[in-house]
């Protein structure tokens, strides 16, 4: 079940959006696995909106809802979260819940999936709703695929000199991060459609591949950014790869002053950061764990995480961090990560507020045993 919830103060805008959303709902319901899709009108009281959304998710624990509203963003201060947005994050933030803000000058806003103008055309609104529903569909737990019907998948480190392999890797990251609404407009619309940045130059890159005829097809990604030196071979390969894309080239050449992206995102981690630098600790940050939609439900992300952790530990990493949406913390807890109390904030390069997690040194020796004897094989 998918609900398109309308909470719009302007009567004229509400009527026009209602008509457009009813038409949009019929198309979404027939094309997305989460259907059917229905429109739900809410009044202009925050408490009513919250209670209706909570009741919906209580009745439909696996349901999706997209709130379309002209009071998610303050006209006076767009960067400041309104009471409605704050309450939504607190009350239904761990559900399959998305937001579309109606504002005078649509622009990308932190923690809001998409923004549209009050006079936007039906096609524009339908496109925004479709993108948000696709994001929620990707966030949802996929049905488990029967292993007997699955072709073998290999999880392995990527080759730093293989430009084609790396292009597939960064292209998949761009595709999924566009669906998730993580990219700023400049990167989302970049010429090369590659999601790449300077952290990739000092990272361990893992890929999940399946055989497609005579060649391998890359279907999943993961990386562990380290606070070690830049891999010069990888630097040379990626520089050539993004040479014709000014946006990607600029992101590749802009360093993270503190080494790990997470250290830029969360200033309240100062104590941890000082300890890392004072003790010269070898650290890593797990990120970009992605599986192509049609291959989800086969345990590939678990294999990617496990292989990436073991590869980085073998390389000498003794302290590991990550940033993730609150809805994903249980996934990483299974690998030994624990939330760092009170640490959450906007992630650098990603327009989302996430929580910080850490795999402490004492937990490194307690990683669960592999289901298969080969760390890089998933069936």
Q: Is the pTM of this model over 0.75?
A: yes
Q: CA 185, 354, 54, 2 torsion: positive or negative?
A: positive
Which of 190, 155, 196, 185 has the alpha carbon at shortest distance from 305?
A: 155
Contact indicator for 285, 260 with CB cutoff of 8 Å: yes
Contacts of 15 (CB under 8 A, 6+ apart): none
What is the 3 state secondary structure string of 18-60? HHHHHHHHHHHHHHCCCCCEEEEECCCCHHHHHHHHHHHHHHC
pLDDT in tens, the chain (379 residues): 899 999 999 888 999 999 999 988 887 855 565 568 899 999 878 999 999 999 999 999 989 999 999 999 987 777 788 999 999 999 998 899 999 999 988 988 889 999 999 999 999 999 999 999 999 999 888 877 654 445 689 999 999 899 999 999 999 999 999 999 899 889 999 999 999 999 999 999 999 999 877 788 999 999 999 999 999 999 999 999 999 999 999 999 999 989 899 998 887 888 999 999 999 999 999 999 999 999 999 999 999 999 999 999 999 998 999 999 988 999 999 999 999 987 878 888 888 889 999 997 677 766 655 443 343 333 2
Query: At a CB cut-off of 8 Å and minimum separation 6, what does 215 contact?
Result: none
């Amino acid at each position: 079940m998918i609900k398109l919830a309308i909470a719009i103060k302007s009567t004229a805008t509400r009527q026009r959006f209602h008509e457009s959303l009813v038409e949009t709902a019929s198309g979404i319901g027939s094309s997305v696995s989460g259907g059917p899709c229905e429109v739900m009108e809410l009044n202009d009281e925050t408490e009513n909106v919250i209670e209706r959304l909570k009741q919906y998710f209580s009745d439909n624990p696996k349901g999706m809802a997209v709130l379309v509203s002209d009071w998610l963003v303050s006209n006076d201060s767009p960067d400041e979260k309104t009471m409605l947005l704050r309450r939504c994050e607190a009350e239904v933030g761990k559900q399959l819940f998305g937001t579309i803000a109606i504002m005078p000058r649509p622009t990308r806003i932190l923690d809001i999936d998409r923004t549209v103008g009050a006079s936007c055309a039906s096609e524009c609104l339908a496109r925004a709703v479709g993108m948000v529903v696709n994001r929620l569909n990707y966030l949802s737990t996929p049905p488990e695929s029967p292993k007997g019907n699955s072709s073998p998948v290999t999880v392995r480190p990527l080759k730093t000199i293989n430009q084609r392999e790396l292009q597939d890797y960064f292209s998949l990251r761009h595709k999924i991060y566009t669906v998730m609404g993580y990219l700023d407009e400049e990167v989302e619309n970049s010429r090369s459609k590659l999601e790449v940045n300077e952290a990739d130059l000092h990272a361990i890159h893992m890929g999940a591949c399946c055989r497609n005829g005579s060649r391998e097809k890359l279907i999943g990604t993961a990386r562990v950014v380290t606070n070690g030196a830049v891999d010069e071979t990888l630097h040379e390969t990626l520089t050539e790869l993004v040479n014709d894309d000014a946006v990607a080239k600029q992101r590749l050449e802009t360093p993270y002053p503190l080494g790990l992206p997470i250290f830029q995102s969360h200033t309240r981690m100062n104590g941890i950061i000082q300890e890392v630098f004072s003790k010269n600790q070898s650290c890593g940050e797990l990120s970009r764990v992605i599986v192509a939609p049609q291959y989800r439900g086969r345990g590939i992300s678990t294999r990617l995480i496990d292989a990436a952790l073991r590869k980085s530990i073998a390389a000498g990493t003794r302290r590991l961090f990550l940033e993730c949406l609150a809805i994903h913390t249980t996934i990483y807890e299974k690998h030994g990560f624990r939330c760092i109390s009170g640490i959450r904030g906007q992630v650098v390069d990603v327009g989302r507020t996430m929580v910080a997690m850490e795999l402490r040194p004492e937990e490194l020796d307690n990683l669960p045993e592999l289901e298969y004897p080969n760390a890089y094989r998933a069936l």
